[in-house]
Amino acid sequence: MKKLLMVGLAVLIVLSFAACAKKEGGAASQAGGRYADQLYVEVSALNSLEYFYDHKEGMRLVGEDLGVKTEYTGPADYDMNAVAAAIDQAVAKKAAGIVVVGWEESLNGAINKAIEAGVPVITVDADLPTSNRPAFVGTSNYNAGLELGKWMIKKLNNKGTVAMLGMPTLSNIRDRMDGVKAAFAASGVKIVQIGDSKTDAVGSAATAAAILQKFPNLDAMMGIDSHSGLGIGNAIKEAGKVGKVLATGFDRDNSLLELIDEGVVTATVVQRTALMPYYATLILWQLHNSKVALTEDDKTAKVLNIPGFVDTGVMIVEKEQAKAFMRTKK
């Protein structure tokens, strides 16, 4: 009930702000729109991954709905120096606000520097709570892991051995794993190994293959990031263990959904990814344009009347829904 209430309130906020923006400013493409000179930029890494299609769509759509300019930028590979440079470039462009995927704490300096320059920054998808960012929008990764763990316990009838794959350097992945561990704590399901999924499906497949060889009687393998599920599925096919090892993934890449439809992978945890940059940009827009305040003068009082955390939630998708979640364009 609490989660439904939060989502409902968030939707009402979005609709009211979007309606206001359209009434007063029109679409971004319309000349003379009230907010058309405001630029909001999202910065991430690994942008060659299909996963970030939804991030790009979220930025595009919020730009249309609010009548502002939006950009999505960052390196195709995992290059934190390039991400930091892109944040600096957004500040140089006089962006009204920046949305950043909080890959790792090495980005704190660039984020704090932007905020000191007067450009608000909100993290999405992966958080950096040790930075000065005022808010985070994304999945409660611990709760997502907890939900997946409970689902797995039911599927395994409360007994069995499980391996997990993910990128252990990332805080959001560690939080998901902690949620899974908490779910398993009082159960008969045991985690026998946690493997590094590397940065793509090829690397995760190699890790999964090694685990399958090490644990020939393994009951299940759980992918905790966007590329590990595909790697696990391919490794299971290669090892001839389809139907013998229960497999799960994270997110909604078409290749993973196809494996679910084929029965190779059982399920994936789908995040409401497009809502992350959408709501983050909405909050940034609110900072500049909304009259909603906590005090007579929030600036003088040094308060920000914005939510510190917005949980966009997850759902577990199995074969019955797999085709519906496949994207028709990438």
Q: Delimit the domains of the chain by residue range.
A: 2-139+272-290, 141-270+318-325
The pLDDT value given to residue 148:
98
Lowest mean pLDDT among 10-24, 107-121, 175-189, 303-317: 10-24
**CATH fold match for the domains 2-139+272-290 and 141-270+318-325:** yes
The pLDDT value given to residue 329:
61
User: Which residues are paired to 43 by β-bridges?
Assistant: 73, 100
DSSP string, 257-285: HHHHHHTSS-EEEEE-TTHHHHHHHHHHH
Lowest mean pLDDT among 9-13, 107-111, 172-176, 198-202: 9-13
Residue 155 burial (C-beta neighbours within 10 Å; 0-12, 13-18, 19+): middle
Amino acid sitting at position 191: I
Identify the architecture of domain 141-270+318-325 in CATH. Answer: 3-Layer(aba) Sandwich (3.40)
* Residue in 92, 135, 85, 94 with CA at minimum distance from that of residue 277: 135
Angle of helix 80-92 relative to helix 108-116, nearest 10 degrees? 10
* Residue in 298, 302, 277, 294 with CA at minimum distance from that of residue 14: 277
Give this prediction's pTM. 0.80
The pLDDT value given to residue 155:
98
Instruction: Say if domain 2-139+272-290 classifies as CATH 3.40.50.2300.
Output: yes
122-166: pLDDT as tens digits: 999 999 999 999 999 999 999 999 999 999 999 999 999 999 999
The answer to whether 220 and 288 are in contact (CB under 8 A) is: no
Helix or strand run (H / E) with residue 162: strand 160-166
Indicate if the pLDDT at residue 51 is higher than 90: no
Mean pLDDT for the chain? 91
Indicate if the pLDDT at residue 60 is higher than 60: yes
The pLDDT value given to residue 6:
46
Quickly list H helices, the chain: 2-24, 53-66, 80-92, 108-116, 141-155, 171-184, 201-214, 228-238, 254-262, 275-289, 298-301, 319-325
The pLDDT value given to residue 328:
81
259-289: pLDDT as tens digits: 999 999 999 999 999 999 999 999 999 999 9
The pLDDT value given to residue 172:
85
Lowest mean pLDDT among 32-36, 39-43, 161-165, 296-300: 32-36
